[in-house]
Amino acid sequence: MGQGEPGYSYSQVRMAIELTNTVMRELNQQVYRHIFATCGIPEAVDNYMSDVQHYFTERVTLHLSLHVAGDRDLIMPINKLYPIEETVKKVNQVAEVSGEKPCVGIMLFNNFRPKGKTFSYTNSVEMVMEILKKLNPGKCRLSFCEYNSSDEIGEADEYPQELVGKILETVREYGFEAKHFSSYGRKKMTACGMLGSKEPEKLASKKWLELNALADELIAKNV
């Protein structure tokens, strides 16, 4: 996550998941779950559902980065290739196949001004209500995340906390499970999709380098 669209490299993602499972078993460590996140590549979701039934040996949860409903083409141009409606229809199937509700992520944009563009966008309470019309509260859960301004992506104002409260109250009245990541990553500027251009602030410690070498050894052994 944070390095592109996992649905575009699903064959590598599934291999990495099972390789991790193998290494963790060798270390006698328990895997709680993996998360497969996508902005909505239908073929990848189909493959994921098949793997949940026939391939994965540990729990893998789907996270759908929906983020916006109206004007999604403006904020997420990939929507022009893969209209979100097709993937949303599959969310109900995911719950039935996996036995758990997939998570649908919604970004709380407030006056978001994408870099190099001349428009602004706000995910208002009314817009979130439009999103709910596409979803079944019995088949998915919701995750709200605040957007942190970025030089590479665009600027935005802080989302009013009273509106956050109103959104959570409303979606729960509709029957949805919902969480809000308050001020998530604001200090380090590490919200969704913002890690790709970041540089580490500190050099790796000797202990970290030793653990990294051990990880490389275990991966090479089990690949």
Residue among 148, 136, 129, 1 at smallest CA distance from 61: 1
Please give the Cα distance from 155 to 144 (Å, whole number). 18
C-beta atoms surrounding 115 within 10 Å: 10
What pLDDT score was predicted for residue 192? 57
Give me the residues paired with residue 105 across strands: 65, 143
pTM of the model: 0.86
The pLDDT, as a whole number, for residue 92 is 86
3-state secondary structure of 134: coil
List the domain boundaries for the chain.
6-222
Second CATH level (architecture) for the domain 6-222 = Alpha-Beta Barrel (3.20)
* pLDDT tens digits for range 137-178: 999 999 999 888 888 889 999 999 999 999 999 999 999 999
The per-residue pLDDT of the chain, averaged, comes to: 88
